[in-house]
Structure 1
Amino acid sequence: MNKTATGALLLAFSAAASFRAHAQTPLNPVQPWGSWVILTAQLPGSAEHRWGGYVELQGRSNALARQFFYYEIKGGASFDIDPNFTVLVGGGRYSTSDYRALEDGPLNTEKRLWEQLVLTQYSKRLKLEHRYRIEQRWFNFRDDSSAFRQRIRYRLNGFFPLNKKTITTGTLFLSAYDEIFLNPRGPVFERNRVYGGVGYQFTKHLIVQLGYVNQANYNYAIRQDQFVLQNTAAKNNIVLALTYKFSHRAVPPGQERLPSQQD
C-alpha cells in the first residue's frame, strides 16, 4: 500500500473518531447488551466464473439471546470486474417490532434495494476492503403511513490472519471495520458502526466469526433552519456470524477470499 493510501485511511479513521468523541451524549445511558445472529450462504465470484451472489437471514435482540425484535432477509448478485473490484446489486425485507408486544405485529417493515462497489487491497498479511453502497428504502408503518428514503454507506474493513499469511482453511483471523451512514438530504451524518472480532475458517466452505459491534445513531433537531445534534443513541451488541461458501469447480482450493460480512 502506498503512503498516499495509508494517509487517507488514517485521516478517515481520525475524522470518524473525532466526530464520535464530540457527539457521544447517550440518549439512554444504560442499555442491556444486545445480540445479532447472521446466517449467510454465499457463492463468491472468481477469475474463471465472475458471477456470484448470496442470501442471508439475520435476527437481532434487545438483550443477549432474548427480547427478539428485528429480522431481515436479503440477497444479491455480484460480478467480479477483476479479482480486487466487485460490483453487486442487492435487495431485502426488514422488519422491526416491539419485543414487549410481538403479537401486535411489526412497527414497520422496509423494502430495500442497493448498488454496491467493493475494492480490496493486500499488504503482506493485512487485507483491506473498501465498500461503497447506495441504498433506496421504502417504509410501511403500522399506522398505514409510508415513506421513501435514500442512504449512502462507506465501510473500511480490515482482516489479519494470525496463523497463516492468507485466509484459507484452518486460518484464525482478526477482523475490524468502521462504517459510516450518510443521509443525502440531511442531516448528513446519520449513523456510525464499529466492529471488532475473531474468526476461524474450518473448511473451504464454513467460516465462523464472533465479535462486538457498537452502533451509534445521531439524533438531530432543527433550530434556525439548521440541523443541530441533540444526542447519540448508542448500543453494544455481540455478533455471531456463520457463513457457508459454495465454490465453483474450477476455482483453485487455496484461493483466498476475504470473509466479509454482507450486512
Structure 2
Amino acid sequence: MIKDVSAGLLLGLLVGSMPVARAQIPVGTTGAWGSWFIGTVQLPGNPERKWGGYAEVQVRANGVLKEYFYHELKAGLSYDIDPNFTVLVGSGYYRTSDYRDLEASPLTVEKRLWEQLVLTQYSKRLKLEHRYRIEQRWVNFRGDSTAFRQRFRYRLNVFFPLNKRTVSTGTLFLSVYNELFLNPTGPVFERNRLYGGIGYQFTPQLVLQVGLLNQADYNLPALRRGQFTPQTTAIKNNLVLAVTYKLAWRSTVPATEHLPSQQD
C-alpha cells in the first residue's frame, strides 16, 4: 500500500512539473515529424541466472521514413540483484550526419559509457519502472576536436496491460514515459522526452511497440557579437517503431514477468 501511494505521488509530481519547466523557457520553432527505428536483442536475467545483457541498433530520420541522419550501436551487461532491482553497464557508438550530404564526414561521432540501475514496482495491472543512469560521453566534432561530457538521466516508465494482468504472450499494453536529461555543466535541464505508445507481445520472444515521442532540447543563452540570444527550446516530434527479441536462459523455475522497456 505504501509503495502504491509513493509511486502515485511520484508520478503526479513528475507529470505535473513538466508544464512548469517548459513555461520558464521560451519555446523555439517546432520541426517537422521525424522517425526512429529501434531493434533490440535482449537476454533478461532470471532467479537462477542473474546475469543478462542486450544489444541494440537504432536509426533516426529527419522526416517520416526519409532523410536518414543518425544511427547508434549499443550493448550492455546486466545483473539482477533481485527481481525488482537490476544494475547495468553499457557502451555505445553514435554517429550524426547531415541528411542533405551523407557522403560528407559525420557532424559528430560519440562514444559513450554508462552505469544504470532500474527499480520496478507492481500494483495489480499498473507497473512502474524507475531508471537512473550516469553517462560518460566523448564527442568528436567533424574530426576537429573532442570534448568530454557527463550527463545524468532519470526515466519513469508506466505500463498498463489492457487484456491481461501481466505482460506476457498475447498481451496488448500501453506504455508512457517521461525522461529528464541533466547536465552538471549546464544547461542543467538539457533534454526532456515524453513518450506514449501501444505494444503487443506476440510470443515469449517477440514484442512490437509503436508510439509518439516528443523531444525538447534546451539551449543555453549566449552573447555573440553584441547580440544576446535567450535560452530557447528546440522541439521535435517523432514516430517510434521498436522491435524487441528476447532470449531466455534455460530454467526449471517458472518465468517471471519482464517489462517491455525500451533500452534507449
TM range (shorter): over 0.9
1:254, CA displacement in angstroms? 4.9
Instruction: Give the superposition deviation at 1:16.
Output: 2.4
SS at match of 1:259: coil
- Tell me the secondary structure at the aligned position of residue 32 of structure 1: coil
Note the alpha carbon deviations across 1:32-70, whole angstroms, 9 max, x for none.
Answer: 210000000000011111000000000000000000000
| 1:218 and 2:218 matched | yes
Correspondence for 2:226: none
Root mean square deviation of aligned Cα:
1.5
Q: 1:149-171 deviations in whole A, cap 9, x for unaligned?
A: 00000000000000000000000
Q: Decide whether aligned partners of structure 1 residues 203 and 232 sit closer, same or farther in structure 2, where only a CA change above 3 A counts.
A: same
Unaligned 5+ runs, structure 2: 224-228
Task: Name structure 1 gaps, 5 residues minimum.
Answer: none
| Candidates 7, 11, 15, aligned match of 1:13 | 15
**Structure 2 equivalent of residue 114 of structure 1:** 114
Question: For 1:103, what is the secondary structure of its paired residue?
Answer: coil
Offset of residue 252 of structure 1: 4.9
Q: Give the whole-Å Cα distance in 1 for the aligned partners of 2:7 and 2:170.
A: 31
Which deviates more from structure 2 when the two are superposed, residues 253-262 or residues 88-97?
Answer: 253-262
Alignment match, 2:196: 196
Residue number in structure 1 paired with 2:256: 255
Q: Contact 2:160/2:175 (CA < 8 Å) preserved in 1?
A: yes
CA contact (8 A) 2:187 2:219 kept: no
Q: Does the CA-based 8 Å contact 1:204-1:253 persist in structure 2? A: no
Q: Partner amino acid for 1:163? A: N
State the aligned residue count.
Answer: 257
| Cα pair 1:219 1:232 within 8 Å, conserved | yes
TM-score (norm 1): 0.94
In 2: Cα distance, 1:210 partner to 1:98 partner: 26
In the alignment, what sits opposite 1:25? 27
**Following the alignment from structure 2 to structure 1, what is the Cα–Cα distance between the partners of residues 190 and 180?**
8
2:137 is the counterpart of 1:137: yes
Residue aligning to 2:34: 34
Matches within 5 A, 1:1-263: 1-23=3-25, 25-26=27-28, 28-29=29-30, 31-222=31-222, 230-250=231-251, 252=253, 254-263=255-264
Instruction: Supply the distance in 1 between the matched residues of 2:142 and 2:87 (Cα, whole angstroms).
Output: 35
Give, as a single letter, the amino acid of the residue that structure 1 aligns with 2:183: N
1:184, CA displacement in angstroms?
1.0
How far apart are residue 205 of structure 1 and its match? 0.2
Could you tell me how far apart the structure 2 residues matched to 1:259 and 1:251 are? 23
Cα 1:125/1:86, change in 2 over 3 Å = same
How far residue 73 of structure 1 moved from its aligned partner, in angstroms, is 0.1
Structure 2 letter corresponding to 1:108: T
**How far off is 1:24 after superposition?**
5.0
CA deviations 1:177-210 (Å, max 9, x no partner) are 0000000122211100000000000000000000
TM-score (norm 2): 0.93
Given that 1:218 and 1:229 are in contact with CA atoms closer than 8 Å, whether structure 2 keeps it comes out as: no
Percent of pairs with identical residues: 63
The Cα of 1:143 is off from its aligned counterpart by 4.6
Partners of 1:222 and 1:52 lie apart in 2 by 45
Deviations 1:80-137 (A, max 9, x none): 0000000000000000000000000211100000000000000010000000000000
